[in-house]
Amino acid sequence: MTSTVRTYLTRLLPQLIALTIIIVAISMIFPGFLNLKIQNDRLYGSLIDILNRGAPVVLLAIGMTVVIATKGIDLSVGAVMAICGAVSASLITSGHSLAETLLVTLAIGILCGIWNGILVAVLDIQPIIATLVLMVAGRGIAQLITEGAILTFNDPGLIFIGSGSFAGLPMPVVIWLLFGILVALVVRRTALGMLVEAVGVNREASTLSGVFTPVLLIAAYVLSGLCAAIAGVIAAADIKGADANNAGLWLELDAILAVVVGGTSLLGGRFSIAASVLGAIIIQAINTGILLSGFPPEFNLIIKAAIIVFILVLQSPRFRAAFTFVSIPRAAGKPTEREAK
Amino acid sequence: MKQKYLPLTATILIFLLSYALCIAQYPNMLSTRVIGNLLTDNAFLGIAAVGMTFVILSGGIDLSIGAVIAFTGVFLAVVLEQTSIHPLAAFALVLVITTLFGALMGAIIHHLEMPAFIVTLAGMFLARGMAFVLSIDSVPIKHPFYATLKSLYFKLPGGGRITLIGGLMMLVFAAGILIAHRTRFGTNVYALGGGTATAKLMGVPVASTTVRIYALSGLLAGLSGIVFSLYTSAGYSLAAVGVELDAITAVVIGGTLLTGGSGFVAGTLVGIFIQGLIQTYITFDGTLSSWWTKILIGLLLFAFILLQKGIIRLSRNGRQPA
């Protein structure tokens, strides 16, 4: 057990260090940053705000991690968010109950995932193009559902998902925490995670050794679609309306970035959901930090790009190779630790 | 007919067929005015798509071009507003900047062995960020030279006009076709798209080719930005969002394989025409909403991917017995 914990910590160490540095840096510029207070039975503070604002990207990153681990990529998640937000808003305004609305919305997300999955697994289309189709068409479909307008709603149940709180935490945080733990358990307490990694490393070899790759691939995209659906509902509930044009716009890029910052290779194979969640929180912390610390918002993107390039350069194979003489003992120790687990 | 021409032929056929359908419904669409406008309205997208074609032929991707276009526009607007240098000098300066920017991304992709997707994504943030730093407002360009450039056109029979930017796009496509098929660099790009390891064994200078591909894409994105600023007479840091996707779509519809190594620059031109035609049709119709453009383009994309899959499968089956 202790060795398992240690393996996890070694895996998450770079992300934890990066997050700590960013939080310390922000709190030095903005002293009140670490303050937390309880008001109306709910925690308030910048740290909670980061977790809350980051909810959509965290959710997308959970699904994206599994897709990327299969050597795929899902560009459509932003558009699926827009579709699902539009569906939930139009259902709830046309008088359906909350349960029906949520069920249908999640089913639509799953359907989008099945579509992507079939394109990738059965028709054998490159993931980046296969999901590009839904990315391009999806926003049009979402606008078709909302008929070009921003659909607003005031159903207290649906709004609760975006701005309510449970056990002192904002509802979006509760949702991604529970969902993340659930996915991590399903993936890691069964052989699924290992099979996903096997497909990502070598799809042909996995098929030959008896892994039923098409189902596994479709399942990965379904998970991603489901994550996007939940994120879409949260985003819509947060602004009490569905904006087909802007909901989830470019979030697919943030989610991919979160996964990469989390250290999962875009070439597939070994993945860590916890690391991707940390990656998403790092990105959100950077965003919030830049806003709080009073930098002109114009510099937002440049600073973000610089930090990302820095993290990526640290992870690049060439850079690591240049420093192998420092890390040989650790690098040699790693596989055995992994096997011991 | 050679199999490699199949996707291109299909693209051209679909374009001609859909254009014929459009004309059947709206005979006015045959006029040279529509064709002239098609060229002018899609000039910036077309120029950027030529660069994207080379990147995709080499098996890479460049997500930064929309941001580079916005940066170029804002840079020109700010420079022309605050200094007294001639627009032509400003054009040269901005092209040098964007070319170096592309070359830098290419160097990072090659030397740090990082995926093009992520490197150009960071490049997209950086270019958009630089545009924001220069100005967050939409800056109008009032230089008289711009008015001169905009008034240049070649009159077609029937009242259509080929504007400077429309003509420039055709020139860039012609140059792109020449570079792709008649130069060593073009051959190297195709070789790289066929597989880096194979290309290296064949003696292709992988490092310099990669750097040059992304430099070319940066140069053309810069040129596209100049055209865009001529088209809109302003520089705005939020302009041209998502142009990289339109360009990728045009390249794929044009029959280029996203895996690299196979495709034609000319196909991209037809891809641009098809996208422009859909938009023109929706304008002519007047009752369809603009979101149908996205859905139709998505469907077309899907149809072309299926077509390519079918062709690849056919060619594989054809090769096996031989």
Residue A290 lies in a domain: yes
Give residue A107's domain range.
54-317
Distance in Å, alpha carbon of A181 to nearest chain B alpha carbon: 27
Q: A314-318 long-range contacts, Cβ below 8 Å, gap at least 24? A: A314/A14, A315/A14, A315/A260, A315/A263, A316/B112, A316/B113, A316/B114, A317/B112, A317/B113, A318/B111, A318/B112, A318/B113
pLDDT of residue A338: 39
Compute the distance between CA of residue B220 and CA of residue A184 in angstroms, rounded to an integer.
Answer: 45
Say if residue A63's pLDDT is above 80.
Answer: yes
- Which amino acid does the sequence have at B129? G
- Higher pLDDT pick, A117 / A39: A117
Mind listing the pLDDT tens digit for each residue in A124-136?
Answer: 888 888 898 898 8
Residues of A in contact with B247 (CB under 8 A): none
Pairwise pLDDT comparison (A27 vs A56), residue with the higher score: A56
Inter-chain residue contact A123 with B309, CB threshold 8 Å: yes
Higher pLDDT, B171 or A123: B171
Say what percent of chain A tops pLDDT 70: 92
Residue A141 · residue B295 · CB < 8 Å: yes
pTM of the prediction? 0.84
pLDDT of residue A104: 96
Residue A307 has pLDDT above 50, yes or no: yes
DSSP E strand stretches across chain B:
139-140, 153-155, 161-163, 234-235
Secondary structure (DSSP) of B70-83:
HHHHHHHHHHHHHS
A151 beta partners: A242
Residue A242 lies in a domain: yes
With a cut of 50, say whether residue A333 has pLDDT above it: no
Specify the pLDDT at position A41. Answer: 75
Of residues B98 and A314, the one with the higher pLDDT is B98
3-state secondary structure chain A: CHHHHHHHHHHHHHHHHHHHHHHHHHHHHCHHHHCCEEECCEEECHHHHHHHHCHHHHHHHHHHHHHHHCCCCCCCHHHHHHHHHHHHHHHHHCCCCHHHHHHHHHHHHHHHHHHHHHHHHCCCCCHHHHHHHHHHHHHHHHHHHHCCCCEECCCHHHHHHHHCEECCEEHHHHHHHHHHHHHHHHHHCCCHHHHHHHHHHCHHHHHHCCCCHHHHHHHHHHHHHHHHHHHHHHHHHHHCEECCCCCCCCHHHHHHHHHHHCCCCCCCCCCCHHHHHHHHHHHHHHHHHHHHCCCCHHHHHHHHHHHHHHHHHHHCHHHHHHCHHHHHHHHHHHHHHHHHC
Q: Please name the member of A136, A140, A308 whose beta carbon is closest to the beta carbon of B122.
A: A308
What's the rounded mean pLDDT across residues A37-50?
82
Nearest to A167 by CA among A48, A50, A63, A283: A48
Domain range annotation of chain B = 3-315
Tell me which residues of chain B, numbers 42 to 61, contact chain A at a CB-CB cutoff of 8 Å. Answer: 61
Residue A35 lies in a domain: no
Q: What is the CATH number of the domain that holds A251?
A: 1.10.3470
CB contact under 8 A, B125 and A298: no
Nearest-5° Cα angle at B67, B64 to B70: 150
| A122 within a domain of the structure (yes/no) | yes
Band the pLDDT of A334: cuts 50, 70, 90. Answer: very low
What confidence tens digit (pLDDT) does each residue in A206-260 have?
999 988 899 999 999 999 999 999 999 999 999 998 888 888 888 888 898 899 8
Cβ–Cβ below 8 Å for A305 and B126: yes
Number of domains forming the structure of chain A? 1
Which chain B positions have a beta carbon within 8 Å of A244's beta carbon? 291
Cβ separation A129–B301 shorter than 8 A: yes
Mean pLDDT of chain A: 85
What pLDDT is recorded for position B181? 92
> Nearest-CA neighbor of B237 among B143, B134, B101?
B134
Range of lowest pLDDT (A102-116, A136-150, A230-244): A136-150
Task: Determine, yes or no, domain membership for A133.
Answer: yes
Predicted local confidence at residue A332, as pLDDT: 41
- Residue A339 confidence (pLDDT): 38
A-chain CB neighbours of B63 within 8 Å are 253
What is the per-residue pLDDT for B2? 67
B132 at the A interface (CB within 8 A)?
Answer: yes
Q: Does domain B3-315 have CATH number 1.10.287?
A: no
Of A253, A297, A319, the CB nearest to B121: A253
Q: What per-residue confidence (pLDDT) applies to B287?
A: 78
- The three-state secondary structure class of B153 is strand
Do the domain assignments include residue A177?
Answer: yes
**pLDDT at A65 exceeding the cut of 90:** yes
Residue A330 — pLDDT band, cuts 50, 70, 90? Answer: very low
Q: Please list the ranges in chain B whose pLDDT falls under 70.
A: 1-2, 315-322
